[in-house]
Amino acid sequence: MSKPNLVELWEGHCRCEFETRDANATMATMVPEPYVNHIPTMTGGVGHEELKRFYADHFIPVNPPDFGLLPISRTVGEDTIVDEFICQFTHTTEIDWLLPGVPPTGRAVEIPMVAIVKFVGDKVAHEHIYWDQASVLTQIGLLDPTGLPVAGVETSHKVADKSLPSNTLMKRWQESTVPV
């Protein structure tokens, strides 16, 4: 028995979510009782009916028209994929899953994200999606980063370009010395 191609399956699932924007097609790529958990906002769903409702009403139709994902890295295991990517969009819609209850600000947003996706056979069983919510809130103007160890769009820039400076939030960095 051949092993399923997890990359093809995951990319097909993502096409249903972000290109065709079809909740039924998205659900067809998943096990009968899947779950999704967007960790910072605790959005998603458990079980077919709840997750279908989430996709149909609170995920697929609320993503802004310019919503895009920029791949950074991918690790493929026996039954799991870990994807690192940058999510980019202009906040022109109320994005229930990412910014629940926050009206559109019109601001550009870039967020580094990590998705941990578990498969059972050739179907998605669950997704755990992580991102830094403080970075999102800073970028849309709801969080003033002054005096806080928080960064905005710089977090995604640093993920995409390792040559950008590190330790910019560490006030004592300039005082430290290189070990001899």
CATH code at position 136: 3.10.450.50
Beta carbons of 135 and 151 less than 8 angstroms apart: yes
Does residue 171 belong to any structural domain of this protein? no
Pairwise CA distance, residues 20 & 84, whole Å? 22
Q: For residue 127, what pLDDT is reported?
A: 98
**pLDDT (tens digit per residue) in 120-150:** 999 999 999 999 999 999 999 999 999 999 9
Report the pLDDT value the prediction gives residue 2, as an integer from 0 to 100: 83
**What does pTM read for this prediction?**
0.91
Rounded distance, CA 146 to CA 117, Å?
Answer: 35
Mean pLDDT of the chain: 96
Residues 31-63 have pLDDT tens digits of: 999 999 999 999 999 999 999 999 999 999 999
In a domain, 176, yes or no: no
The pLDDT score that the predictor gives to residue 177 is 83
Residue 13 domain-assigned?
Answer: yes
User: Using 50, 70 and 90 to split pLDDT, how confident is the model at 4?
Assistant: very high
pLDDT at 139: 98
Number of domains the chain contains = 1
Domain range for residue 96?
Answer: 6-165
Let me know if residue 174 belongs to a domain: no
Residue 128 has phi, psi (to 5 degrees) of: -115, 120
Whether 180 is in a domain gets the answer no
Q: 77 lies in a domain?
A: yes
Q: Is residue 177 assigned to a domain? A: no
Condensed to tens digits (0 to 9), the pLDDT of residues 59-116 reads: 999 999 999 999 999 999 999 999 999 999 999 999 999 999 999 999 999 999 999 9
Q: How high is the pLDDT of residue 174?
A: 85
On whether residue 172 sits in a domain, the answer given is: no
3-state SS track over the chain: CCCCCHHHHHHHHHHHHHCCCCHHHHHHCEEEEEEEEECCCCEEEECHHHHHHHHHHHHHHHCCCCCEEEEEEEEECCCEEEEEEEEEEECCCCCCCCCCCCCCCCCEEEEEEEEEEEEECCEEEEEEEEECHHHHHHHCCCCCCCCCCCCCCHHHHHHHCCCCCCCCCCHHHHHCCCCC
